[in-house]
Amino acid sequence: MPLIDLPHFSADLLAEFAGRKAERVDTPIIQPAEPFLDIAGEDLRRRIFMTENETGASLCLRPEFTIPVCLRHIESATGTPKRYSYLGEVFRQRREGGSEFYQAGIEDLGDINISAADARIIGDAVGILSRLLPGRQLAVTLGDQAVFEAVVQALGLPLGWQKRLTHAFGNMAQLEALLGRLVSPQFVTGLDDQVASLLNSGDEDALVRHIDETMQATGYSTNASRSPADIARRLKEKLVLSEIRLDDAAFAVLQEFLSLQVPLTNASAALAGFADAAGFKLGNALARFDGRVAALANAGVDISMVEYRAAFGRPLDYYTGLVFEIGVEGSDSVLVGGGRFDKLMTFLGAKERIPAVGFSLWLDRIDAARAA
């Protein structure tokens, strides 16, 4: 039985999903915790309700639907392209409005025409929200993680720093903290003397053994999501990366990029101008961006309501390209959030790469907006 009341407009929502050829699926409320801990992102990880089964395996209350829907698709060995819709409860700690609430959405799996799929999913989200909030002026914020990654790569930073910055995309406070460390490197502090000594010696096997012994002695190993080898590798990487410095000119270029905020109609020209001025070749990332803008216009989406922000991302680690949010003009409340997650399916066990894009609707917030 539902723990909270289902929004009264859910029948309209399900009719919208059916009209957009998205097959309704359900997933268990109790989910394996590992996929969420590994790839959902820090913001979601710290909000998960954790438990375990009789064998000690980590489980959690369903905190979102994208990972469960993708797992279900893989387990059912269904072919692609495939569109799924869902509507049900999710659970997150310390959330405004309560820890239990309803989400609904569409996951679009397997369409190799990336631009068309991106445009279709944004069109679906705008169309459904317009149906639920008739007469309200919507505002769409769009970002592109692939463009950000291309800029970071063009700066010539080591791969470790590229990964750090990419993971921080969508969390401006974390991103600014990392950039501060790049401009003014700081030595790694707070390490156990023996760990520091082993790191400096380069004896990785001895470091792994020491971490393993410490974890066993403290009982931490029974709850750890990282192995001793993973921890040792991360410590070594942290030490090496702490010595890297981003020069002032490169930092200024990155700051200039992150400050870009323009209507989508002007975004392609703004990005091309930035790349030319910086001497960057952003090739495929810009081509995909331009293709998406054209596909949105061809799909009949009113792109005058869309704003591009170069620094905009969403705090889930599995996004790879398009990211977007939708709200009502003049309000800060996010009613819809979504994006592209092309690497998620193979990470979860799919035998081949499956391009994927989708969105979620926050039904309690939409209900509040309707009441307003």
| 103 among annotated binding-site residues | yes
Q: Would you call 359 helix, strand, or coil by DSSP?
A: strand
**Residue 64 annotated in ligand binding:** yes
Residue 308 annotated as lining a ligand binding site: no
Cα of first residue to Cα of last residue in the chain, in angstroms, is 29
84 is in an annotated binding site: no
In this structure, what token pair is assigned to residue 259?
A: 């400050």
Consult the annotation and say whether 107 binds a ligand. Answer: yes
Q: Which amino acid is at 269?
A: A
Of 62, 69, 128, 67, the C-alpha closest to 89 is 62
80 is in an annotated binding site: no
List b or e across 220-243, with b for residues whose CB sees 16 or more CB atoms inside 10 angstroms.
eeeeeeeebeebbeebbbeeebee
Q: Would you say 141 is a known binding-site residue?
A: no
Q: Does residue 319 have a known ligand-binding role?
A: yes
- Give the number of other CB atoms < 10 A from CB of residue 323: 26
- State which H helix or E strand residue 178 sits in: helix 172-183
**Which two structure tokens, joined as six digits, stand for 24?**
């309704």
CA 257/CA 255 separation, integer angstroms: 5
CA distances from 190 to 87, 121, 161, 193, 205 (A): 46, 46, 21, 9, 21
Which residue, 197, 273, 176, is CA-closest to 239? Answer: 197
d(CA 347, CA 75): 14
257 annotated among ligand-binding-site residues: no
Binding residues: 64-66, 92, 103, 107, 314, 318-319
Binding residues for L-histidine: 64-66, 92, 103, 107, 314, 318-319
